[in-house]
C-alpha cells in the first residue's frame, strides 16, 4: 500500500472489512488525494468507511470523499451520524445531493412524448397567464372605481405627465406612419381598380379602411411597441431596485400610484392618436389621388362626404379605449412580474410587447366579426 494510503486511508487491522479515513482532506492536499481516490476507485474498494478519525475537511476534500464512497453511502453515513460533527454532516450531505443531482439524467422519451409534454406545459402556462391577467384587470377596475369616489386620491400631475410621454411625443411617428400607409393603400387601390375602370372608388377604399380599421390598429400596435414596453421597463426597474417594496412600506398602494395613472393616460391618449392617424391616412390617400389619379382635394372631400357615413368613424374610435386599456394593463402587469435582475426586465419587456400586439389584433378581429354580424 502506498504512503498516501497510510496518510489518508488505512485498512483496519482489527476489522478487515473497515476502511479508516484519516488526515486532513483539504484543498492543500488535493493533488495527492485525487491520485489516491482514482487508485482506490480503480481497485473497486467496497469496504465500509470509518470517518471518526477524519481531520480537517473542506469542500474540495468533501467532493473527493463523496466520489470515493458514493453519494448514497455518504447520505447513509450523514443520516446515521458516523461520529461526525453536525457541520461536517451538513457539508457532506449537500455535496452528495449536488453530485447526485448532476449525475442523474432525466429519462429520454420519444419525440411524441416530448411534443405532448411541451403542449401541456404551454397550455398550463397560457391558463395561468389568463388567470393572472383577469385578476389584474379586476384589481385595476376596482382601483379605478375607488379613485372615482375619492377625488383626494386623483393624481392629476402623474396623468398629465404620462399623457405627454404617451401622446404628445408620439404624434410625429403616428402621423408619419399612417400618412405613408394611406399613400400605399391609395396606390394599391388605384392599380387594382384601374382594370375595372373604377379608380374613383379608391377614395372609398381609403376612407373605409382608415376610419374602421387601419388608423386604430396601427396606432395601437405602435403604442404596444412603444408605450407598453416603457411601462414594463419602468415598473420592472422599480421592482428590481426594491422601490415598490419601499412604496408599500410607506403605507401606499402601488396600484394607485403606478398603474391607474398610466391606464387613464393611455385611455385618453390612444383615441387622440387614433383621430390623428385617421386624418393623416386620409391626407396621404388624398395626396396620391391628386397626383396619380387626377382626383382633386375638393372632389376627394366631396366623395368622402357623399359615400362614407359617419358611423364608420364612430366604430373605429369606439375600439380605441378598449385597446388602450388592454395595452396599459399588460404593460404594467409584466412590470410587476419582474424578478429583480436586468435579464428579467428584458424578458418581461419583450413579453409585454408580444402579448399586447397579439391581444390588440385578436380583439380587432373579434370586433370586426361582431360589427359584421350586427350589420354596422
**Rounded Cα–Cα distance for residues 309 and 114 (Å):** 54
Task: Report pLDDT digits (tens) over 319-373.
Answer: 999 999 999 999 999 998 888 777 888 888 999 999 999 999 999 999 989 988 8
Task: Report pLDDT digits (tens) over 218-233.
Answer: 999 999 998 999 999 9
Q: Are 26 and 57 in contact (CB under 8 A)?
A: yes
For 86, other C-beta atoms within 10 Å of its C-beta total: 9
CA distances from 187 to 208, 210, 347 (A): 15, 15, 39
pLDDT at residue 108, as a whole number: 59
* Mean pLDDT for back-to-back runs of 10 residues, the chain (376 residues): 55 66 80 81 70 78 79 73 72 76 58 85 89 92 87 85 90 93 90 81 89 92 92 89 88 88 93 94 91 86 88 91 94 88 85 92 92 84
Instruction: Please state the φ and ψ torsions of residue 26, each to the nearest 5 degrees.
Output: -135, 175
pLDDT at residue 17, as a whole number: 64
| Domain boundaries of the chain, sorted by first residue | 3-103, 155-373
Task: Report pLDDT digits (tens) over 262-271.
Answer: 999 999 999 9
Residue written as grid cell 397626383 = 291
The pTM (predicted TM-score) of the whole model is: 0.69
Amino acid at each position: 500500500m502506498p504512503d498516501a494510503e497510510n496518510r489518508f486511508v488505512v485498512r483496519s487491522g482489527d476489522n478487515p472489512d473497515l476502511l479508516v479515513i484519516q488526515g486532513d482532506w483539504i484543498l492543500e492536499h488535493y493533488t495527492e488525494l485525487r491520485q489516491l481516490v482514482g487508485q482506490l476507485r480503480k481497485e473497486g474498494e467496497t469496504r465500509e468507511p470509518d470517518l471518526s478519525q477524519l481531520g480537517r475537511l473542506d469542500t474540495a476534500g468533501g467532493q473527493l470523499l463523496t466520489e470515493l464512497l458514493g453519494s448514497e453511502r455518504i447520505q447513509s453515513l450523514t443520516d446515521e451520524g458516523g461520529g461526525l460533527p453536525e457541520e461536517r454532516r451538513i457539508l457532506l450531505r449537500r455535496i452528495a445531493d449536488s453530485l447526485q443531482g448532476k449525475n442523474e439524467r432525466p429519462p429520454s422519451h420519444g419525440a411524441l412524448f416530448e411534443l405532448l409534454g411541451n403542449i401541456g406545459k404551454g397550455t398550463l402556462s397560457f391558463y395561468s397567464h389568463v388567470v393572472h391577467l383577469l385578476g389584474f384587470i379586476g384589481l385595476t377596475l376596482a382601483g379605478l372605481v375607488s379613485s372615482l369616489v375619492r377625488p383626494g386620491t386623483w393624481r392629476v400631475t402623474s396623468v398629465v405627465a404620462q399623457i405627454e410621454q404617451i401622446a404628445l411625443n408620439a404624434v410625429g411617428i403616428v402621423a408619419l406612419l399612417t400618412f405613408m400607409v394611406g399613400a400605399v393603400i391609395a396606390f394599391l387601390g388605384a392599380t387594382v381598380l384601374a382594370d375595372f375602370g373604377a379608380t374613383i372608388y379608391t377614395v372609398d377604399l381609403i376612407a373605409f379602411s382608415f376610419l374602421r380599421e387601419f388608423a386604430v390598429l396601427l396606432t395601437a400596435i405602435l403604442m404596444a411597441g412603444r408605450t407598453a414596453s416603457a411601462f414594463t421597463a419602468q415598473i420592472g426597474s422599480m421592482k428590481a431596485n426594491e422601490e415598490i417594496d419601499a412604496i408599500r412600506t410607506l403605507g401606499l398602494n402601488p396600484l394607485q400610484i403606478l398603474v391607474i395613472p398610466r391606464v387613464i393616460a393611455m385611455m385618453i391618449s390612444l383615441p387622440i392618436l387614433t383621430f390623428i392617424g385617421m386624418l393623416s391616412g386620409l391626407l396621404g390617400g388624398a395626396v396620391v389621388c391628386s397626383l396619380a389619379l387626377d382626383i382633386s382635394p375638393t372632389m376627394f372631400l366631396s366623395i368622402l362626404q357623399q359615400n362614407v357615413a359617419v358611423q364608420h368613424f364612430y366604430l373605429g374610435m369606439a375600439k380605441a379605449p378598449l385597446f388602450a386599456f388592454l395595452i396599459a394593463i399588460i404593460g404594467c402587469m409584466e412590470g410587476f412580474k419582474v424578478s429583480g435582475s436586468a435579464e428579467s426586465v428584458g424578458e418581461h419587456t419583450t413579453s409585454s410587447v408580444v402579448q399586447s400586439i397579439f391581444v390588440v389584433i385578436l380583439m380587432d378581429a373579434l370586433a370586426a366579426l361582431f360589427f359584421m354580424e350586427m350589420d354596422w
